[in-house]
Amino acid sequence: MSDVRVAGTGLTSFGNSPERTSRDLFAEATITAFEESGVPRDDVEAVLYGNFMGELSEHQGHQGPLMAEAAGVQAPATRYESACASSGTAVREAVKRIRTGENDVVLVGGAERMTNLGTAGATEALAIAADDLWEVRAGVTFPGAYALMAQAYFDAFGGEHEDLAHIAVKNHENALSNENAQYQRAIEVSDVLEAPPVSEPLGLYDACPISDGASALVLTSEAYAEEHDLEAPVAITGTGQGGDRMALHDREHLARSPAAREAGAEAYADAGVDAGDVDFAEVHDCFTIAEVLALEALDLEPLGEGISAARDGRTTADGETPINLSGGLKAKGHPVGATGASQIVEVTELLAGHHPNSDHVADATTAVAHNAGGTVASATVHVLEVDR
């Protein structure tokens, strides 16, 4: 098998751009990725693209070849859809292709256009990642679903809204220096606790925003990187994927994420590392409680203790294991199809020392990116390591 090198990364600003199409956004991200990589577009052998709601937000299916064209690439192209884990799934498939020798160079990423739908329209579109028959038709939305998960966690392990507020404060603080982040402003715990409720116990500042944006990665085999003398010190060394029952009422526990645990265990084993080797992580914090569940599923915090990690400083920028130095979905934004690949972009830049928050992890060698779909019925986890 071939190691997989991250030769180039590209990211648009995340935020409110209702006039921009997803092909426009993806094209921008790929320009940066190719410029950084030094890889000619003609060398790309496949385009793998993540997108969730293109049919609803842009009346556009069959997006793979459309995005290859936008990127200026002539190669077979495939769209991957796994709700919020769409581009994380695309990255996993790219890694597998390069490892087996099927491809030496793959362009992978994702994009989403959401704000043109408005809040109500985007909420309705996102809801189709839940079980339509048993959840959506009953009026369940993702704020409501994650509120149920948060309350289940409090009932099982303790904790309160103030603990979640520290997660939001931490991630907003991390986003201050990230020029691509949607929210580059600090908040206080009191802001979170006094914000309008969305679905008890979650309030406005417990939720990620509706976002537009795109991400792109040029991945190559190690042999290709060496042959072309590429500067690509960061490698994806582990990949994993897990699944769970779609509807919450079919699950044994609402306060755990078996899909993420399965994906994490597979990725750790694949890379030959364990949770103790992880220096920092980007995890899928669509709601503040989601960060707690992710930390515990990845064994970065013991079961029942993830709730206190931000409050006690263990996951802050200068803590033992910094989490979401990009600002996370909470503050950086969450253009659904772009998120998984964007996490890989952030981790790569942090490990390579090119990120505004790299100073917090200057000696780091190993990091994790965790991407989840829906209420974590789907999850991918990737381990990245850097040559020091």
- Express as a percent the part of the chain with pLDDT over 70: 99
Residue 369 lies in a domain: yes
Residue-number span of the structural domain to which 241 is assigned: 4-118+209-386
Q: Which of 89, 99, 90, 88 is nearest to 67 (CA)?
A: 90
Enclosing H/E stretch for 281: strand 280-282
Instruction: Give domain status of residue 340, yes or no.
Output: yes
pLDDT at residue 94 tops 90: yes
Residues pairing with 217 in the sheet: 9, 108
Residue 158, sorted as left (phi over 0), alpha (psi -120 to 50) or beta, turns out to be: left
CB atoms near residue 169 (< 10 Å):
24
Is 152 within a domain? no
Residue 46 forms beta bridges with which residues? 106
Judge whether 158 lies within some domain: no
Residue-by-residue DSSP string for 187-239: --HHHHHHSPEEETTEEGGGBPPP-BEEEEEEEEEHHHHHHTT----EEEEEE
Is 214 inside any structural domain?
yes
Q: What is the CATH number of the domain that holds 335?
A: 3.40.47.10
Catalytic residue among 161, 284, 334, 370: 334
For the beta carbon of residue 318, count every other beta carbon within 10 angstroms: 9
Residue 170 in any domain: the answer is no
Catalytic, 84? Answer yes
Residue 387 has pLDDT above 80, yes or no: yes
The type of residue at 236 is I
pLDDT in tens, 286-321: 999 999 999 999 999 999 999 999 999 999 999 999
Is residue 156 pLDDT above 90, yes or no?
Answer: yes
- Is residue 67 predicted with pLDDT exceeding 80? yes
pLDDT for 329-355, tens place per residue? Answer: 999 999 999 999 999 999 999 999 999
At residue 1, does pLDDT exceed 80? Answer: no
CA pair distance 295, 244, nearest whole angstrom: 17
Query: What's the structural domain count of the chain?
Result: 1
Q: Indicate if 208 belongs to the active site.
A: no
User: Is the residue at 43 inside a domain?
Assistant: yes
Distances (CA, A) of 78 to 25, 54, 151, 366: 18, 14, 39, 30
Say if pTM beats, i.e. exceeds, 0.95: yes
59 in any annotated domain: yes
The sign of the CA dihedral 26, 31, 32, 34 is positive
